[in-house]
């Protein structure tokens, strides 16, 4: 779809029908003309107002009835979000009022904006690059401190400037090689191979660092995946409900209650966790439960943290076997494990003590810091300590450093493609391949990196990105 910049667009910037005030955004060459057609200013009009000024006015319906008193903010090109002439109309947040005002603008000649069209215009006007435009959506969606930090850093251009720096290093590399190409007849090597290799190596390390940060970046955005696993009836679903603070999963004293995985996110200490309740592990002939247990193992393999729930009131041999079963399915240290001795409120003291000894024996045999907590998912005992431990384990997600996290899958893919081209270029250079092949590979890397900020892009890519935005953004 071609979106003409000649159109003046309009959309609500707030959710209609909620809150006290609604904001309607107008942008384009006729923003002031249309605003004057719809709003009667107390003094003057939009066309003659200065930028960054605000005006009181009244909107009348087509048949001259007063609709609402409004405030109009004026932004003159290029000093606006979109870089165009813009007005923002604050009215009472009634669905009826906002709907009528928008209708009056459309009757005057404005067009209802497409999703993300305001931000797309900002990108087109060079107000922000593509990575920054995408950060606008992330910033609005950010529900935790960690997500906010990552989005804000990207919006401020931190990620973009890192990319720019890498691109200029790449341009330098390519131009060194191209100089050589120009004189290839004379068989001279202009570029110092040692310097070329060093530059290439530092670029590869930089790209690899960014690619690696996606694991954390993804956790920031979608929640750190923490799988709640264990034998049937140990209290996994009760724990999920306690952690997220609502009755999300069905709890019963019948073993095999949970069949499918149930998950939800919760903010603990500024970090978003995604807790996944799974089907209890046990031998069963029930076909559906079996499928559920297969799913449990899949979720264990994908999780960052595994919360292994054990029944503190059960037999020590059974507990030991359950611990070993969990350990068979995870890879330490890339995955973090926490053992939870649940049902502490009803556990027999003697049995509980034996279980603690049995678990500690297993934990001590592994060269890794595995924590053991005694909890009661039912009464909440031990849960504050568990939560503290969870947020401590992931505290690097909100560290004070200005390190860039790649949070966007599109960026991750582009970085991966760039890394591949750089690896190939390094290999080609090492094996003495022709200079033009090396230069070609470096140019490919350059264009992959350029696609992140939108220096190199297509309408199709823009369409896909901005269509995910809401109208009014
Ligand atoms: N006293 C006590 N009972 C608990 C505790 N946690 C869970 N229960 C009870 O244990 C039973 C099983 O709890 P669930 O949360 O359904 O256990 P589950 O591990 O999800 O079970 P499956 O889904 O069948 O694998 C229920 O009757 C719970 O009320 C606890 O900390 N203390
Ligand atoms: Mg359950």
CA angle (103 as vertex; 99, 108 as ends), nearest 5: 155
Which pLDDT score, from 0 to 100, does residue 289 have?
87
Residue with tokens 């909890």: 375
Does residue 314 have its Cβ closer than 6 Å to ligand 1?
no
What is the predicted pLDDT for the residue at 183?
Answer: 66
Tell me what pLDDT residue 400 has.
61
Give the per-residue pLDDT at 172: 86
347-379 b/e (C-beta count within 10 Å ≥ 16 → b):
beeebbeebbebbeebbeeeeeebbbbbbbbbe
Quick one: which H or E segment has residue 111? strand 111-112
Q: Which atom of ligand 1 is nearest to the CA of 238?
A: 15
Taking CA atoms, 345 is separated from 181, 222, 255, 349, 452, in Å, by 77, 34, 20, 10, 53
Superfamily of domain 9-129: Probable tRNA modification gtpase trme; domain 1 (3.30.1360.120)
- Ligand 1 centre distance from Cα of residue 193 (Å): 65
Q: List the chain pLDDT tens, one digit each, 473 residues.
A: 567 889 999 999 998 778 899 999 999 999 999 999 999 999 999 999 999 999 999 999 999 999 999 999 999 999 999 999 999 999 999 999 999 999 999 999 999 999 999 999 999 999 999 999 999 999 998 988 888 988 999 999 989 999 999 999 999 888 888 877 766 665 556 567 788 888 899 999 999 999 988 988 888 888 999 999 999 999 999 999 999 999 999 999 998 899 889 999 999 988 899 999 999 988 888 888 889 889 989 999 999 999 999 999 999 999 999 999 999 999 888 899 999 999 999 999 999 999 999 999 998 888 777 899 999 999 999 999 999 999 999 887 776 666 788 989 999 999 999 999 999 999 998 898 888 899 999 999 999 999 999 987 778 778 888 888 888 88
* pLDDT given for residue 97 in this prediction: 96
Ligand 1 near 258 CB (within 6 A): yes
pTM above 0.85, yes or no: no
Q: Spell out the domain ranges in the chain.
A: 9-129, 137-217+405-454, 223-376
> Does residue 296 line the site of ligand 1, with CB under 6 A?
no
CA 359 to ligand 2 center in whole angstroms: 22
| Residue having the nearest C-alpha atom to atom 8 of ligand 1 | 235
Q: Is 234 in the pocket of ligand 1 (CB under 6 A)?
A: yes
| Ligand 1 close to Cβ of residue 376 (< 6 A) | yes
Ligand 1 pocket member 213 (CB < 6 A):
no
Closest CA to 81 of 116, 56, 109, 50: 116
Pocket test for ligand 1, best of 229, 232, 237 (most atoms within 8 A of CB): 237
Q: Among the atoms of ligand 1, which is closest to the Cα of residue 257?
A: 24
Tokens 């350990």 sit on residue: 327
Write down the pLDDT at residue 424. Answer: 96
* Radius of gyration in angstroms for the set of CA atoms belonging to the chain, rounded to a whole number: 29
Which pLDDT does position 187 carry in this prediction?
A: 58
Kindly report the CATH number that applies to the domain delimited by 223-376. Answer: 3.40.50.300
Enter the CATH code of domain 137-217+405-454: 1.20.120.430
* CA 237 to ligand 1 centroid distance, Å: 7
For residue 279, the number of C-alpha atoms closer than 13 Å in the C-beta half-sphere is 19
Distance of CA 386 to the CA centre of its chain: 25
Q: What integer pLDDT is reported at residue 215 of this predicted model?
A: 83
């Amino acid at each position: 779809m071609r979106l003409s910049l000649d159109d003046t667009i309009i959309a609500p910037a707030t959710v209609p029908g909620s809150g006290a005030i609604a904001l309607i955004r107008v942008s384009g060459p006729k923003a002031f003309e249309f605003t004057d057609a719809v709003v009667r200013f107390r003094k003057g009009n939009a066309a003659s107002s200065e930028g960054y000024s605000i005006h009181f006015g009244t909107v009348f319906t087509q048949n001259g009835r007063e609709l609402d008193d409004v405030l109009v903010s004026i932004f003159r090109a290029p000093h606006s979000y979109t870089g165009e002439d813009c007005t923002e109309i604050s009215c009472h947040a009634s669905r009826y009022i906002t709907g009528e005002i928008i209708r009056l603008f459309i009757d005057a000649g404005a067009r209802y904006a497409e999703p993300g069209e305001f931000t797309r215009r900002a990108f087109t006007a060079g107000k922000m690059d593509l990575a920054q435009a995408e950060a606008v959506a992330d910033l609005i969606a950010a529900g935790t401190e960690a997500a906010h930090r990552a989005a804000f850093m990207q919006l401020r251009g931190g990620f973009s400037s890192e990319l720019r720096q890498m691109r200029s290093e790449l341009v330098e590399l390519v131009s060194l090689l191209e100089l050589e190409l120009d004189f290839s007849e004379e068989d001279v090597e202009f570029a110092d191979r040692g310097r070329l290799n060093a530059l290439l190596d530092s670029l590869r390390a930089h790209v690899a660092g960014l690619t690696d940060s996606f694991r954390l970046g993804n956790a920031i955005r979608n929640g750190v995946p923490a799988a709640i696993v264990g034998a049937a009836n140990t209290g996994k679903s009760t724990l999920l409900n306690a952690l997220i603070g609502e009755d999300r999963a069905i709890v019963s004293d019948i073993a095999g209650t949970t069949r499918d995985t149930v998950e939800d996110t919760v903010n603990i200490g500024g970090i978003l966790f995604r807790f996944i309740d799974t089907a209890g592990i046990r031998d069963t002939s029930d076909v559906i439960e079996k499928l559920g247990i297969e799913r449990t193992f899949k979720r264990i393999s994908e999780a960052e943290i595994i919360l292994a729930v054990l029944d503190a009131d059960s037999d020590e041999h059974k507990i030991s076997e359950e611990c070993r079963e969990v350990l068979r399915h995870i890879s330490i240290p890339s995955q973090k494990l926490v053992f939870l001795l649940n049902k502490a409120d009803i556990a027999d003291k003697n049995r509980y003590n034996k279980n603690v000894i049995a678990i500690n024996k297993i934990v001590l045999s592994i060269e890794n810091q595995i924590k053991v907590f005694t909890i009661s998912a039912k009464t909440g005992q031990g849960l504050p300590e568990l939560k503290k431990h969870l947020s401590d384990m992931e505290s690097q997600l909100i560290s004070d450093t200005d390190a860039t996290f790649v949070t966007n899958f599109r960026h991750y893919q582009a970085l991966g493609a760039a890394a591949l081209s750089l690896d190939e270029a390094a290999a080609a250079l090492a094996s003495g391949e022709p200079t033009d092949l090396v230069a070609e590979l470096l140019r490919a890397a350059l264009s992959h990196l350029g696609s992140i900020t939108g220096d190199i892009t297509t309408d199709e890519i823009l369409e896909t990105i901005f269509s995910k935005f809401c109208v009014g953004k």
